[in-house]
Structure 1
Amino acid sequence: MSNENSKPILGINEAPTPGKFFILSLQHLFAMFGATILVPILVGISPGVALISSGLGTLAFLLITKGQVPAYLGSSFAFIIPLQTAFASDGPGGAMMGALMAGIVYGIVALIIKATGHKWLVKILPPVVVGPVIIVIGLSLASTAVSMAMNNPVTEKYSLLHFSVALVTLAIVIISTIFFKGFLNLIPVLIGIIGGYIYAAIVGIVDFTKVIDAKVFVMPDFIIPFVDYTPTFSWGMFMLMVPIAVVTLSEHIGHQMVLSKVVHKDLIKQPGLHRSIMGDGVATIIASLLGGPPNTTYGENIGVLAITRIYSIYVIGGAAVFAIIFGFVGKITALIGSIPTPVMGGISILLFGIIASSGLRMLVDSKVDLGINRNLIISSVILVIGIGGAFIQVTKTVQIPAMALAAIVGVLLNIILPGGEVPEDVDIYEAHIENDDSVA
């Protein structure tokens, strides 16, 4: 790449002209939109709340990182199954308290990193641990995606009509991903949702009633502590949600490294990994206090930065403000809510598969040799525990679920088994993050 082609069009602290500000910010909003609203739809949270918490979390992140890290934060896929389980067992209040605890863990890790440096965290979360855990996340969600795609959500039975909607949606996303270029290539999920929605409307499975009846501006369905529930600590929620932070922390490190390459500045050192992790944690805490899903930095938006060479935090901040405004627009949230289940099922088939495939790609790109018994044992145990659904019932109300147990066992095996030392000058994440914009 030539110096001319790598030179930023707008630097991190440069503001665009008023005429370009709107479209550049909207571009980032579209890049994160499809994935960010998919998580709350799957979990049963208001998409409007997710958009608002995403925008507020991003603004908090920019503030905590002193305006030096142009990253957008959106809904985290890693927490889908824990949130679904938490909603089913403890209701919205329990789920939000679990998310709050995960955010607090981020803050604690950030403070430890500030005091001790970040290399210890990278060493206990090498690709041989994180790769299989990410595979577990994707494959654990596979049955959910297929059920959403194949079944009539009313009767919960197989429907060829609904399955056709999912397949058409999936086909549109695949075509958009493979054949579209430029900006359209950045938003295949959004294009797929729109195309699938149109087809679903043609075959008659879209209910426009709520969209027609919705007011222009509404108050989203926030889930506020001491108003909608009484916060209580639960070891069950702690063991369900907090271990997932192992995975999201590793993804955060990867995103910060690739973002450093994109903007030609070592963001790990300045403003520091502790600040970006703290920003991520605060964003998750804000989301939990509003009733939104945990937040994480988005690879899709890093891809936008890389292609446009516009690194301005003002553009990122503008996208965050637009997300907050959209969350209060009743017509938009009602339109999102009217998206048929099989449309999201078709999207999920690809996205959840991409999550699993990205874990596999991490193993391949990081040159993890599965011919070495140590690596083979760690990855095999993580995969079977996680996908097989193993869990530990600590008490009648406290359970360590499969995904969390797989992550914990993987970290312990990596620490205990000999032969896992990493040379000080080797960046074990460098390979897999080179162009990683597939997983949020």
Structure 2
Amino acid sequence: MSMLGTGWKLHGDGRSVRPGEVVAPQERLAWPLTIGIGLQHVVAMFGSTFLVPILTHMPPATTLFFSGIGTVLFLLITRGRVPSYLGSSFAFIAPILASQQQFGVAGALGGVVAAGIVLALVGAVVQAFGAHWINVVMPPVVTGSIVALIGLNLAPSAKQNFVAAPITAFVTLLAIILASVLFRGILGRLSILIGVVVGYLVAIARGEVNFSGVGSAAWIGLPHFQTPAFHVGVLGLFVPVVLVLVAENVGHVKSVAAMTGQNLDGVAGRALIADGIATTLAGFGGGSGTTTYAENIGVMAATKVYSTAAYWVAGLCALALSFSPKFGELIATVPAGVLGGAATMLYGMIGVLGVKIWVQGRVNFSNQINITTAAVALIVGVADYTWNVGQLGFAGIALGSAAALLIYHGMTGLARWRGTVREPESESV
């Protein structure tokens, strides 16, 4: 395999995958099939990737541009060993919305850049010293608490959009729920996208969609780029996001390793570095922060095709679509009601993902340290506690994340010193 990770070998006859076999990252099917699977990856990432810029009032085409660029960079930096698509990270929604109120879009982009740089530095440390220390610093009770509070912190934003057009929002939410149980395979995994399309059609029928910007937009043109502005006050909002991105990336690398039967621990640091660089570039140009996408991992699990060639197709296709201003304007017409219905599901899913991390980590909540860590962090994050120190402001996500880390490690240290905690941290199998 080449240093760029593009020296794929043809899998079998290139036309099929036998039962019990998988197409490895270093392999590919015939190009027509590979292109088809790559386009399927574009569809899989589409709904979630576009929801983030729409919810945060940022240009969708620009976000798509940096999503494509980020995916290509990820494949190059990991040398084609980790098949993954870099889409918009939901973890950035809350800090972007909060920072826009005080520092505008440019200030929010500065926060995205800061998060990207920190993530790349963490990746460099992981690559040098291994990923085992991440589990020591961020055990499941801490990681789950941080992920949960980020999702639940966004609940007021979901309600605001929902009440703006409750009928459309309800239909959108209902369509998402029904699509998730009525369809099999890839359609079932695209429930949010299907719900958004159904809700959008209802919004058109109700006269809630404004197409004025679509008609005047050109078919081909550059995305709208914007430079960031840097303020110390945004650091408290964005740095906690890095903890979520680390957990997502490492988790996805482990998932791909388990599905392909390959040991990918040696490239976990490269994956973090790649996502950090992609996020930094997005922040410098006006896009949203990126992360590896579970939706696309779901496509791989369904097709048994883990070829990075398909991700090259997906990344290049995303880049091509980003050069259509008319396409970007059309995406931007999604009205508040549709966003409210989708966000009700989406933000709740982020919160429940934190609970899933607890379950998978077998967190024992009979342990006083675990229950205290989660309890305080969740209330601080959901109620959006704030603390201002000069120009530096800390909101619920930052304070909740700090509380999870400080309470867990502080109580653990004191308990070991005093020998007072007898309940195990994790439940037995």
TM-score by length of 2: 0.90
Q: Does residue 376 of structure 1 match 2:389?
A: no
1:26: Cα distance to partner? 1.2
Counterpart CA distance in 2 for 1:51 and 1:79 is 15
| Pair 1:203-2:206 in alignment | yes
Q: Name the residue aligned to 2:339.
A: 344
CA displacement at 1:38 relative to structure 2: 0.6
- Aligned residues of 1:134 and 1:247 also touching (Cα < 8 A): yes
Give 2:318's match in structure 1, choosing from 323, 330, 334.
Answer: 323
**Aligned partner of 1:112: which letter?**
V
Q: Across the two proteins, how many residue pairs are aligned to each other?
A: 401
1:6 aligns with 2:24: no
1:73 Cα deviation from its structure 2 partner: 0.7
Counterpart CA distance in 2 for 1:333 and 1:259 is: 32
Q: Deviations over 1:257-298 (max 9, x none)?
A: 1121122212123xx211111011011011111111110001
Q: Return the offset for 1:212.
A: 2.6
Q: Which residue of structure 2 aligns with residue 407 of structure 1?
A: 401
User: What residue in structure 1 maps to residue 82 of structure 2?
Assistant: 69
Structure 2 unaligned residues grouped into runs of 5+: 1-16, 417-425
* Structure 1 segment 129-278 matched on structure 2, within 5 A: 129-151=142-164, 162-224=165-227, 231-232=229-230, 234-269=231-266, 272-278=267-273
Write the distance in 2 (CA, Å) between the matches of 1:90 and 1:207: 28
Distance 2:88 2:82 in 1: 18
Q: For the Cα contact (< 8 Å) 2:109–2:227, is it kept in 1? A: no
Corresponding residue of 1:59? 72
Rounded to whole Å, the distance in 2 between the matches of 1:93 and 1:356 is: 28
Question: Which has the larger displacement, 51-60 or 211-220?
Answer: 211-220
Q: Is 1:124–1:414's contact at 8 Å kept on the other side of the alignment?
A: no
Whether the 8 Å contact between 2:387 and 2:394 is mirrored in structure 1 is yes
Question: How much does 1:111 deviate?
Answer: 1.8
SS state at 1:6 partner: coil
One-letter amino acid of the counterpart of residue 151, structure 2: G
> How far apart in 2 are the matches of 1:418 and 1:150?
44
Which is further off, 379-388 or 111-120?
Answer: 111-120
Give SS of 1:418's match: helix
Residue of structure 2 equivalent to 1:298: 293
- Structure-1 separation of matches of 2:271 and 2:262: 14
* Mapped contact 1:100–1:284 kept (Cα < 8 A): yes
Structure 1: stretches of 5+ with no match in the other structure: 152-161, 226-230, 422-427, 432-440
Task: Compute the displacement of 1:169 (Å).
Answer: 0.9
Displacement, 1:189? 1.5
| TM-score, normalization by structure 1 | 0.87
Task: State the superposition RMSD in angstroms.
Answer: 1.8
Residue 417 in 1 paired to residue 397 in 2? no
Query: Matched residues in 1 for 2:131 and 2:344: separation?
Result: 35
- Of the candidates 84, 88, 104, which is equivalent to residue 117 of structure 2? 104
Cα deviation, residue 314, structure 1: 1.1
- Counterpart CA distance in 1 for 2:114 and 2:259 is 32
Give the SS at the match of 1:417: helix
Partner AA of 2:176 in structure 1: V
CA distance in 2, matches of 1:174, 1:30: 19
Q: SS where residue 399 of structure 1 aligns? A: strand
> Hey, what's the Cα distance between the residues in 2 that align with 1:19 and 1:115?
39
Aligned partners of 1:16 and 1:315 also within 8 Å:
no
Paired with 1:181 and 1:47, the residues of 2 have a C-alpha distance of: 29
Is the 1:247–1:407 contact (alpha carbons within 8 Å) kept by the matching residues of 2?
A: no
CA distance in 2, matches of 1:363, 1:107: 26
Secondary structure class of the residue paired with 1:74: strand
Q: Using a 3 Å threshold, how does the CA distance of structure 1 residues 360 and 17 change in structure 2: closer, same or farther?
A: same
1:219 deviation in Å? 2.2
Structure 1 residue runs of 4 or more that deviate by more than 3 Å after TM superposition? 3-6
Q: Identical aligned pairs, as a percentage?
A: 34
| Structure 2 Cα separation of the partners of residues 85 and 6 of structure 1 | 48
SS of the residue aligned with 2:87?
A: strand
Aligned mates of 1:96, 1:70 — CA distance in 2:
27
Query: Matched residue of 2:27: which SS?
Result: coil
